[in-house]
Amino acid sequence: MKKYSLFLMLGAAFLTFNACKSELDLDKELKFSKLSVEEQKQKIEESGTEFIDAMEGIQETQAMTTMMNMLTMTGGEVFSAPMQKLSADIKNARKDAFTNFDKQMRVSYVDSEVWGEYEYNFETEEMEKTKDLTNKIVARFPATAASTKNNAVITITYEESSVVVPDSDGEKYPSKITYKMTVDSKEVMSAEFSGTYYSDGSPKKVTQSLKMDDYKWTAKIANDQKTASESYEFKKGSKTMIKSVAEVSGILKADELQDAIDNESPQDAIDKFAVYFQVMNVAVKGGTSDFKKMADEGQALDSEKLSDKEYAEKTAEILNKYMVCTAFFVDDNRKFADVELYVVEVVDEYAEYDWEQGKYVSKTYYDLAPRFVLSDGSKVDAQEYVQEGFDDLIKRLQDMTGSYDNQ
């Protein structure tokens, strides 16, 4: 457990925040909020409640009700996979609903057998193919179960790039996919994917968007092989609900980057990185401007001379030395906590089975977790801080999403 890759550990640390150009300015020092700790918690809870209200509203949009009606129609499954995934993700409030829809669009519409014009037949009560098309789908159907005419139309187009997917049978990446839904000639939903790629298949520039009534998702990837960035934003009207930005600088050609990772020396390719993640009015940003020194020090630790706990503690010390990480309120640009990593003890009760004793033997591991350093200097585990005192918010989340056990 002590000899894990520093690069992978760093990724895991920031994924705790679901990470991520002003948002990425690590040199800008933020002043502490003048609110008390309890007032800060109330402000965080208000953001969470507002987010849930907005997510519940998506299910009532014209696009969602029309989509749900279409999914009940026999024959619609030939082109409805992305919509099935999107409706399920939105119903269960999954934060990756947008990216899942985009991926499903790219997977579903490579098959040429899907292309064509479809229309709902009220006599047979089925979606029927009426015309063959090339790289295009047009589907006409009733927007509601009570509709007596095909007043909803979905139009999908697909354009292929010239770049072949590595290790495929000549399959090529898509350069553009568009999706549009209208009801009574009014557009209620639209989506678009466009991408350009290097010859090795790595993305050069990718943009994605999805609009549904007052809700809009956008995502962008850019890589000039020196700086790579990725951004995602989910808005309702002009209000940002979720936003994440991540940027890495260094030698980012696919082969050289992969070699560095395979050799467990990511510092040979990466110079610095920064991440930013925001939900409503609460944000976290962090990163380092000297990834090489941080990685070198981490790899210089002698794992053979240190216990698992000592190794984890030394690693946390190095990361905290080189990384800047802050949690703050977006509206007034004031922080409510600095963020640091610390060591937590994890006991696995079923780590190994002892055949001689006929029972499982527990084992203790040491992981890194983020904690908040508040304005009064006190320290509290980030998860504990967010959960403590948010009973109403957590109950609303559970009511809205239901159990995740079967997902």
Rounded average pLDDT over 361-388: 81
* pLDDT higher than threshold 70 for residue 389: no
Residue for token digits 């920064």?
274
**pTM listed for this prediction:** 0.74
Write down the pLDDT at residue 168: 74
Per-residue pLDDT, 278: 85
When pLDDT is cut at 50, 70 and 90, the band that residue 16 belongs to is very low
- The two three-digit tokens of residue 329, written as one number: 């309120």
Query: Which range (12-26, 74-88, 155-169) has the least confidence?
Result: 12-26
Instruction: Please state, in angstroms and as integers, the Cα–Cα distance from residue 248 to each residue in 49, 251, 289, 348, 389, following that order.
Output: 33, 10, 10, 35, 36
One-character DSSP codes across 20-63: ---TT-SS-PPPBPSS-HHHHHHHHHHHHHHHHHHHHHHTTSHH
pLDDT of residue 91: 66
Rounded Cα–Cα distance for residues 23 and 72 (Å)? 43
What is the DSSP pairing of strand 136-141 with strand 116-121?
parallel
At 218, the amino acid letter reads: T
* Calpha distance 79→127 (Å, rounded): 11
Q: Look at residue 187 in the predicted model and tell me its pLDDT.
A: 96
pLDDT digits (tens, 9 = 90+) for 332-370: 888 888 989 899 998 888 778 778 888 888 888 898 888
- Tell me the range of 2-6, 163-167, 229-233, 398-402 where mean pLDDT is highest: 229-233
Three-class SS of residue 322? helix
Least confident range of 16-25, 80-89, 197-206: 16-25
DSSP-derived 3-state class of residue 326: strand
Report the percent of the chain where pLDDT is more than 70: 84
Which among 326, 323, 329 is positioned nearest to 295, based on CA atoms? Answer: 323
* Residues pairing with 117 in the sheet: 131, 138
Check: CB of residue 384 under 8 Å from CB of residue 37. Answer: no
Flag whether pLDDT at 391 surpasses 60: no
Residue 65, class by beta-carbon neighbours within 10 Å (0-12 exposed, 13-18 middle, 19+ buried)? middle
Q: 15 — alpha (psi -120 to 50), left (phi > 0) or beta?
A: alpha
| pLDDT of 124 | 92
Average pLDDT over the chain, rounded to whole? 80
Give the number of other CB atoms < 10 A from CB of residue 278.
Answer: 21
DSSP β-bridge partners for residue 257: none
Terminal CA-CA length for the chain: 30
Tokens of 45: 């809870």
Nearest to 79 by CA among 145, 128, 123, 122: 128
DSSP state of 151: -
Cα–Cα distances in angstroms (integers) from residue 247 to residues 92, 227, 256, 270, in the given order: 30, 7, 18, 11
Residue 203 has pLDDT above 60, yes or no: yes
